[in-house]
Amino acid sequence: MDSSKTVSRRKADVPAIRSRASDKNQFFQEVKVSAQLDLRRVLGLLEDPLTTNLKERHLFVLRKTLKRSQNGFLLKELADVARILNICAAKVKDHPEYGLILCEALQICRLPFLKEKTSDELNYAQDVIEFLSHMGCLMRVSDAEVRHEIVECVKSFYSCVAPTQLLDGLRPTSPGYRLQLLEHSDLAQTLFLSMSALENQPAIKLQLLQTLQILSRSSDLNCALILEARGAEAICLHMNEPDPSGCILSRSSEILWNLLERGSREQVTRQLCSMECVVSLKEAFFQQLMNCSLPRDLQLRNDLLVVTTLIAESPNSLLIDSLFAKQLMAFVTFPELRKPKSVASSFKLSYNSEDLEMKKLLLNLLVLMSKDVAAVQLYKEEQVMLALLTLIKPPPAPLQRRPGSRHWSRFQQEELQLQALAAFSSIAPLMLDEYMCCQGNACLLLLLDWCTGKDASSGEGHSFHGTGGSGSTKAQMRYCVRTLRSVTSAGEESVNQDLCDQGIISQLLGILMQMEEGSDEDDVVTLEMKSDIQLILSALCETEMHRKELFGSEGVEMAIHFLRKGSDKFYSGLGHNKLILSTVDCVWSCIVGCYTTEDYFLAKQGVFLLLDLLSSSPRCVHGVVLATLLELCDNPSALSHILSWTDEGGRSAPRLLLQLWKEEEEELGVRRDTHGVIADPQKPILSSYQEEDSQLLFADNMLSAAVLEISENLRSKIYSIFARLGFQDLPGLSKPDHVTLSIVRRYLDFKVCEVWEEISREVRLDGMRPISPDEEALSTICRISEDAAKKVIAEQKRLLEQQEKEDASEEEHMYKEMKSHWNQQELEAKSWDRYISKSLNYETLKKHTESSRSKSELADAALHTEERFTEQVTSDTQEPVGVKLTVARASLKTGAQDQVQATAQDPEYFSTASVKGS
């Protein structure tokens, strides 16, 4: 019995254990339900007018509630928690004890929110956004501890804090969930706006700045919210406040950097362009410039200078009005120019990397400010041109430096030289008087000489300016040539004449050909320099005959060399397209117009090369090539070159020009039929673009559309070339080409009538009526144009009919040849059939064999008779004394022999004459 009792007890224990497990799960469910009911009861307790003043009870219930949620708030509870926190915040002013509740709740908010189901993150996303927004509103509580907890709570969002222990069925939200929803809340903007309430709490303000720095660094949306509240302006205005810690300026600078990088740069610049912000920025910069020496402080100084540079890009910057620019100019020219009374006289350079960066930023600032005329005047007063020319001079040899003196290293000096050259190319054209006074031409030519010399430095300190020129002076040469191009393109005659007097033409030609010989494959930098050199030569020689003579045969050889390269690499992306255009421009400006260079160019087959380029180049090059050919047509020798040219396919120059004409009219949408005949006599050359603009009114100072159209397409140039070549006896033209040529011949007449038609249309659009004689004249002109177009149409149709007749005649001749060929093949087939029939039919073959034998016997008998006759004649004849007789044996053939020989020959299959005879 004892054993049975024991067994029964064990059986009874099993369901008891299961009952406890189910009770535990049920307990957790009850806890969750009761928790939600508790929050509603807490809200009822706090909001009920009967219990609103029961502070002790409130505090007890709130502490109990927070203790229950010490591992984190549930997502579905956040709406109720936000209401509770707002009620507590309202009571803090009268009852500071509620501040402790807020601090405890904010400490719990550092933990990830909890979810029961995966879908909770999506279902309660809006509640999380509103909760985070309410959290920022808690900064209205003046209690320092509450504000500290808010700031620390937001900072904790960017670190991983895991809850210690969770109930079954609860999981923390993903790490990025809260940060993603934070961007959609207005927490960043609310925190920024609360800075104005922290004047008496500098420690909290510093922490808030650090939090704003984190928020602005991590999200573009946060930056947009801060900028919406004019955050850049406020940060800049408060960066110079008293700060024992020395961190406000650095953190303010970091926030401005983040706003520039992740926010709208235009919006930031617009907010910083006020006079107050510029003055605040100036004070902060010079405070760092004159009083700091640590690398961290020097970097902060450079960051402030970058912000200043961004302000300088705005056309509304007040750098000059605030005297900030004038003070900066003293440091731009330091240490190249040492002025005793300057602001920079007490400044000491360390010649470290931070000072080098500052110097480069100041040089870059010159370029950005040069758009303002007042800034250029300031450059003149501060002798900026002289300082730049000092920087771009070739570096002195190591032995020339004074021992013991502090200076830039060789690499640093190269970087400054390139940065100064980059700034110089933009500023020099704006200050040509100062440029000439400081002998800028001589300085640049000396630098160019140094770049091509053998004693040049290795070029290892180029930074980003040295692209494509590492280990050489290519970068210096690139910027030097670019500066010369910008100076010569300004068109100042005194500057260009001074360059020519110093021999720049021959120097550049030598450098160009030296570069061409020394490089197997061109890179971007090399091609850019070649193009710039050609543009410099074009600018110098365009209007001066003597300079074209100086260009001479050496320059012609250079142009011929580059023309021979053709346009195969036009779309390579390296710059060959610019080089082709600059080469043609060089021919136009430096060769055309001078008979000696023109004749040498023609002797070197330059016209052929231009026509080759015209036939192979894309459409964008055709304009300059045609213009150059048109200018060359003034030389009588050039016309024969044009007429004698043919391309690889045998196409002549007139035919090429007419093909370009057709392509141009197709591009313009001129009305033509399928054969190229004028489709509308009233609009023989009118383009579709002109028809679209026909109803528009033009200002009095604007050219008409008909006149502007001449310079915008190729038709006028092609017509002018044909006017030089003539319209008769042109080589290599077909009848369709003559159809197009008939339009080209009357182009000028059509264009004149088109201009008059446009005048008449504008008069009508203006609501005016010309007097009767003028109206009659206008109608007569229009009628003359239409009659001329009809005559051209008739001529075109005549040419097409003639072409059709010629085509029909050629077709008929071709058919006759084909018929004769087929007849020949039929006769050969019949002959072969006869031969085969003789070979296959036994009776026919037998008769043919017997007749052949009889014929051969007759032939042998005749041959013996001939031999006997010959022997008898020889024996009967007596030879006279002194006379030697020789009897010639003649071949006497009988008819039978002839027939035998004919039979012995090849059959009739091999003799078409016998067949034809039959």
Q: Do 511 and 621 belong to one domain?
A: yes
Q: Do 177 and 76 belong to one domain?
A: yes
Residue 333's nearest CA partner among 370, 291, 366, 375 is 366
Q: Do 513 and 546 belong to one domain?
A: yes
Q: Do 540 and 569 belong to one domain?
A: yes
Q: Is the separation of the CB atoms in 421 and 392 below 8 Å?
A: yes
Residue type, 548: K
CA separation (Å) from 484 to 422, 435, 499, 668, 901? 12, 12, 9, 39, 97
Over range 256-280, report the average pLDDT: 93
Q: Do 611 and 511 belong to one domain?
A: yes
How many domains does the chain contain in total? 3
Residue 317 within a domain: no
The answer on pLDDT for 918 being more than 80 is no
Q: Please tell me which of 113-117, 686-690, 837-841 the model is most confident about, judged by mean pLDDT.
A: 113-117
Q: Do 695 and 813 belong to one domain?
A: yes
The answer on pLDDT for 899 being more than 60 is no
Last residue of a domain, one of 137, 165, 184: 184
Interval 283-316: pLDDT, tens: 999 999 988 888 999 999 999 999 999 999 888 8
Q: What tokens appear for 376 in the block?
A: 């250029």
Share above pLDDT 90 across residues of the chain, in percent, rounded to a whole number: 50
Question: What region, left, alpha or beta, does residue 72 occupy, with left being phi > 0 and alpha being psi -120 to 50 degrees?
Answer: left
The predicted pLDDT at position 909 comes to 34
Q: Do 606 and 672 belong to one domain?
A: no
Residue 590 DSSP label: I
Over range 872-893, report the average pLDDT: 44
Interval 185-195: pLDDT, tens: 999 999 999 99
Q: Do 711 and 631 belong to one domain?
A: no
- Structural domain for 766, as ranges: 664-819
Residue 150 within a domain: yes
Residue 115 DSSP label: E
Q: Which residue has the higher pLDDT, 690 or 915?
A: 690
Residue type, 289: L
The predicted pLDDT at position 649 comes to 87
Q: How many separate helices (H) and strands (E) can be counted in the chain?
A: 43, 2
Q: Do 725 and 788 belong to one domain?
A: yes
Residue 328 within a domain: no
Helical packing angle, 202-218 and 144-156, nearest 10°: 20
Residue 788 within a domain: yes
Residue 362 within a domain: no
Last residue of a domain, one of 133, 167, 184: 184
Over range 235-258, report the average pLDDT: 91
Global pTM? 0.76
Residue 808 within a domain: yes
Last residue of a domain, one of 766, 786, 819: 819
Q: Do 547 and 686 belong to one domain?
A: no
Task: Please state, as a whole number, how many other Cβ atoms lie within 10 Å of the Cβ of residue 397.
Answer: 9
Q: Do 750 and 806 belong to one domain?
A: yes
Segment among 169-173, 217-221, 574-578 with least mean pLDDT? 169-173
CA separation (Å) from 456 to 357, 393, 476, 477, 707? 25, 12, 10, 11, 54
Residue 213 within a domain: no
Residue 180 within a domain: yes
Q: Do 618 and 691 belong to one domain?
A: no
